[in-house]
Amino acid sequence: MSRLRKEQLVGLLMVSPALILLAVFFLYPLVNSFYMSFHKWPLFGKPKWVGLDNYIFMFQDERFWESLKFTFVYTLTVTPMLFVVAIGTALLCNAKAWGTTFFRSIYFLPVVMSFATASYVWLWLYSEMYGVIVYALEFFGFGGENKNLNVWKTGTSSMWAVNAMVTWKFSGIQMIILIAGLQAIRDDYYEASKLMGASRWQTIWNVTLPLLRPSIALALILSIAGSIQAYEQFVIMTRGGPSNSTKTLVMHTVDMGFDYFKLGPAASLGVIIMIILFILTVIQLRLFRKNY
Amino acid sequence: MRRYSSDWYWYYAINYTLVIIIIFPIYWTLISSFKKPSELITSEPTFYPHDLTLQYYDQIWNFDRLKRLQDTESEDSESSGVEIESKFRLDGEGVKRPFMNSAIVSAGTIILTIIVCTLGGYALTVLNTPLKNFFFLLVILPILIPGISLIIPLYKLLKDLGLTNTHLGLILIHTCGMLPLGIFMMRNAFNSIPSSLREVAMLEGSSELKIITSVMLPLAIPGLLTVMVFAMYVSWNDYIYAFIFINSPENTMLNISLMKIALGGSQFEMKWGSLTAGSIVSFLPIIIFYTFLQQYFVRGVTGSAVKE
Amino acid sequence: MKLLVKLFLISLTILPFTKATSAEELIIWSRGGWSDWMVEGFNKKMADEGKDIVAINNLIGHADFQVKFTAALAAGERVDVANIDLINVPYYAAIGALEDMTDFLKSQPYYDQLNGPMLALGSYDGTHFAAPNAADVSGYVYNKKLMPNPPKDWAEMTSMCEDFAARGQLMMAWPSKSYGGMIFTGMPVAWANGGSWVSKDGKTAELNHPKTVEWFKHYQNLINIGCVPENVDVWDWPDKQDGFLAGDIAMIGTGNFMINVVKDHTEKVDAGFTAFMGSDGSRNSAFIGGDLIAIPVTTGAKEAALEYIEYVLSEAGQIEVYTKNGGIPIRADLFEGNPYLTDDHMVFANASTVGDVPYTTVYQELMDPWQVANQRIFAGEDVQTVLDEQNAIMQKIIDAGH
């Protein structure tokens, strides 16, 4: 057996646990769900093949388009917020200075709080009458002279309020991915850049960021996938309101499946979300692979 | 360090501002868990508890499901002389059992994840595995579909495999969910290690496994630790799978129990005290775990620097 | 690392595998915290009678109960007894998810005393699929420190509102954002006024019923007068409950569980309770919420399940367990002489005999237009226009069916 052949075999063997797990606990249910999406699927009894009916039903549903639109707006706004905070804190924590370990721990703290609890606590902080954040905002002149600020008053303000919570909660995840990437960059690159007389910003721009590409790709893919699948924060904090203006795709899916008991259309919604995200992810992988 | 000396003030000013902003909601959660009900909900908020109480922690940790509503009655039920098998008695256990359950599932997920992801990441980066890119794309898939969409097929699958209501079922699902991030991270980590190191080891006649454990992994420690932190995060904080797939009181996970206590016995209740105390209880272990790993983060980095 | 592996291996050995017992197990899924007591009492009774049945309570809670229950049904998970939010029961009954218990219920001597609307919700095509189990009844709670006497009719409510507004105080608030909260504490006011939500048979949407319109206009008027928070259209349940408990709001709609909640807040709140009333105060109403108890078709122990249900409906279950924990009995014959029914409880108990609960198999889907109607109206839009619009959406949903 040639060396290459052996290496190929060893490689397959090593990747097989991951593939088996994936096949059983992901691909199999996924195929099932795909199958469901082409059927009228009652809770009991025989499913009936309906072809593309579920998809047609869904596309004709205004609620689907509203939620799709909102989900995109949310993703487009929250992703840059998360990324800017994450890269900023990652660079701060990667500096060779006293206290970085401490800062890193603090920035990571919100991540480990359970999402539901965090949503409830922020809901409380945002409370019109007893919310500390609202006091602070009113102090800075938001809410006019009557001091009757309520962040849930409009769809847009609701979204920004949730964005702030999500940024607080999740930038730590991206930060830690970026830090792992930063630590993998060897010091000689910085030394070389320094010898060439580059300023700190130039070094970040020309050395750090290009070398950080794979980690940035991962951080962005995760954050976009997470935002397209946003659910808990909106269920708890806005309940999709006011007047359905903050209903996300996954909320709509859960409503379909578990509140309206329409399992077929719910399955087709899952498939659609998957296709959207697959396209977005492939695009991102392409973008970040260039010149790398 | 000298590099930053000119911006010394800015560096710490920015950091400390961020620290205050980020800490505040957590601080608020913490102090709220010590406030008496009358201080908890008030139009004159206090920034530290004036009247410290441990009642919520006591309620959660020693949570007695049968005691909650009828304080006087519990004694009668003890003395009634009816022996009910301990398995069916839930009083006085608090969240200790759910806490252990969550710890077991998290530990299992962490261990399984690092094994599977290290091997997978290595095979898909360093080795000449056939269909590498295809496998990699395949492994990324789980983050692309919301877990709730697969709940019903997954439930059927677990039932067929006899894994509903078991820790193992949750461990396998969480590990599967960790694959995209784990393999991606490990791939990045292995990618940044010069291939010459492996070639040297191969010339010395080491086996592939030996190379992984003695040469490659020590250099990939920041990535590995990140994967561990995430595995802990994913399994410890999971709500939906633990909620749907666990059906018996003795196998309940921590988050589920805490949520039940906080949301109370009736439909619209919201117990801020129990909610905040519960979140602190579930918060601590993962913080301890992270702090514990922190030291290795640093050691791993300096270690790699020395070797190079 | 080694430490972790070791910990894991140790923990595996103490994995709590389900022990095999000789007793017949009865798997109960429930929502309310009091169910632990019910199961404890049942087990005690079985032990006393020497029967080999042991009930295990899987307390799931109110949040997301039907998500779990639906997934379990679809996968064929064994559940022997389920306490289901009554509002979803018509759907489960319609799809054949529940066992017929008509004979059992009709043979009980207290059959006539069971709460009518709840019983109706558990039946489909004349067959009983679920029995009343636990009632959550709604009504007003008011703070005597801010409002010595509650209003008797809408005119008085309006004039009190003017007084409050003149003093710059808040009198009322409601959770427009919470569709469940609004149907629980808002709609009954319209019912008391003769209004309607959907028709009795659940086939016609009646959101734009003239008497319902009157109620919306009345509440909208209170906002305009100024005794209700301006942003009430985006208020959630905790907003108004916290406001009440902090002593800043004089009166809110709530449920009988509030009797227990206010006990922690006596410093600022001296609570009184009163039923929802119509415009002239001659009629009262309430939303009868809570659980129905049913046997899913995935049961493995139907006989034992019926035995448990019998216990739940018995005097021991309803008085010694349920009422004692602050609940309202679902049997009218248990109101009188019930030692745990205080005057406060009686307000809700009486309201439960005149209250209502809508019958529809698409309840959850109707919540969507209902929420939109509430939020838009209390944000100041024209009542008739909004209700006509949302009523049409509701009718469309009803016609499409489940």
Tens-digit pLDDT string for chain A (292 aa): 677 888 889 889 999 999 999 999 999 999 999 999 999 988 877 888 998 999 999 999 888 999 999 999 999 999 999 999 999 999 888 877 778 888 888 898 898 888 888 888 898 889 888 888 888 888 887 777 677 788 898 999 999 999 999 999 999 989 988 988 888 787 788 888 888 888 888 888 888 888 888 889 889 998 999 999 999 899 889 888 788 899 999 999 999 988 888 899 999 999 999 999 999 988 888 887 754 4
DSSP state of B213: I
Q: Which residues of chain C are within 8 Å of residue B225 when distances are taken between CB atoms?
A: none
C368, A150: Cβ pair inside 8 Å?
no
Are both C80 and C109 inside the same structural domain? Answer: yes
Are both C109 and C256 inside the same structural domain? Answer: no
Q: What is the mean pLDDT of residues C159-176?
A: 94
Are both C242 and C294 inside the same structural domain? Answer: no
Which chain B residue is nearest to residue C32, measuring alpha carbons?
B265
Q: pLDDT-derived band of residue C152, with 50, 70 and 90 as boundaries?
A: very high
Nearest chain C Cα distance for residue A43, angstroms: 5
Nearest chain A Cα distance for residue C399, angstroms: 14
CATH fold for the domain made of B96-307: MetI-like fold (1.10.3720)
Are both C310 and C296 inside the same structural domain? Answer: yes
How many Cβ atoms are within 10 Å of C25's Cβ, its own excluded?
Answer: 17
pLDDT in tens, C2-47: 555 555 555 554 444 444 456 788 999 988 778 888 898 899 899 8
Nearest chain A Cα distance for residue C364, angstroms: 6
How many Cβ atoms are within 10 Å of B263's Cβ, its own excluded?
Answer: 21
Residue C3, domain member (yes or no): no
Three-state SS at C131? strand
Among B28, B124, B192, beta carbon nearest to A15: B124
Q: What percent of chain B has pLDDT over 70?
A: 81
What pLDDT was estimated at residue A116? Answer: 83
Q: Which residues of chain C are within 8 Å of residue B268 when distances are taken between CB atoms?
A: 178, 180-181, 184, 237, 241, 254-255, 257
Are both C257 and C378 inside the same structural domain? Answer: yes
Q: Which residues of chain A are within 8 Å of residue B237 when distances are taken between CB atoms?
A: 112, 114-115
A244 touches chain C (CB under 8 A): yes
Residue C213, domain member (yes or no): yes
What pLDDT was estimated at residue C59? Answer: 85
DSSP string, C158-188: HHHHHHHHHHT-EEEE--TT-HHHHHHHTHH
What pLDDT was estimated at residue B301? Answer: 45
What pLDDT was estimated at residue A241? Answer: 77
Q: Which residues of chain C are within 8 Å of residue B111 when distances are taken between CB atoms?
A: 4-5, 8
What pLDDT was estimated at residue C20? Answer: 46
Which chain B residue is nearest to residue A117, measuring alpha carbons?
B279
Q: What is the mean pLDDT of residues C354-373?
A: 93
Residue C2, domain member (yes or no): no
Taking a C-beta distance cutoff of 8 angstroms, is the pair B26, B7 a contact?
no
Residue C300, domain member (yes or no): yes
**Residue C311 above 80 pLDDT?**
yes
Are both C68 and C130 inside the same structural domain? Answer: yes
Residue C13, domain member (yes or no): no
**Residue C177 above 60 pLDDT?**
yes
Q: For chain B, what is the radius of gyration of the CA atoms?
A: 24
Total domain count, chain C: 2
What pLDDT was estimated at residue C276? Answer: 96
B80, C44: Cβ pair inside 8 Å?
yes
Residue C15, domain member (yes or no): no
Q: What is the mean pLDDT of residues C222-240?
A: 92
For chain B, what are the domain ranges? 11-53, 96-307
A8, B294: Cβ pair inside 8 Å?
no
- Please tell me the distance from the alpha carbon of residue B92 to that of residue B98, in angstroms, as a whole number: 13
Taking a C-beta distance cutoff of 8 angstroms, is the pair C174, C185 a contact?
yes
What pLDDT was estimated at residue A124? Answer: 85
Q: pLDDT-derived band of residue B6, with 50, 70 and 90 as boundaries?
A: low
* Cα end-to-end span (Å), chain A: 33
Are both C235 and C378 inside the same structural domain? Answer: yes
Residue C11, domain member (yes or no): no
Give the A:C interface size as CB pairs under 8 Å. Answer: 91
Q: pLDDT-derived band of residue B73, with 50, 70 and 90 as boundaries?
A: very low
Q: What is the mean pLDDT of residues C213-227?
A: 95
Three-state SS at C26? strand
Query: Which residues span the domain enclosing C306?
Result: 24-135+289-354
Are both C43 and C130 inside the same structural domain? Answer: yes
Say what the ipTM of the complex is. 0.86
pLDDT in tens, B189-246: 888 788 888 888 888 888 888 888 888 888 888 888 889 988 998 898 888 899 999 9
The structural domains of chain A, ordered by start, are 43-289 (1.10.3720.10)
CATH number at residue C125: 3.40.190.10
Are both C120 and C233 inside the same structural domain? Answer: no
Amino acid at B61: W
Nearest chain C Cα distance for residue A55, angstroms: 16
What pLDDT was estimated at residue B56? Answer: 85
Are both C155 and C281 inside the same structural domain? Answer: yes
SS3 for chain A is CCHHHHHHHHHHHHHHHHHHHHHHHHHHHHHHHHHHCCEECCCCCCCEECCCHHHHHHHCCHHHHHHHHHHHHHHHHHHHHHHHHHHHHHHHHHCCCCCHHHHHHHHHHHHHCCHHHHHHHHHHHCCCCCCHHHHHHHHCCCCCCCCCCCCCCCHHHHHHHHHHHHHHHHHHHHHHHHHHHHHCCCHHHHHHHHHCCCCHHHHHHHHHHHHCHHHHHHHHHHHHHHHHCCCHHHHHHCCCCCCCCCCCHHHHHHHHHHHCCCHHHHHHHHHHHHHHHHHHHHHHHHHHHCCC
Residue C37, domain member (yes or no): yes
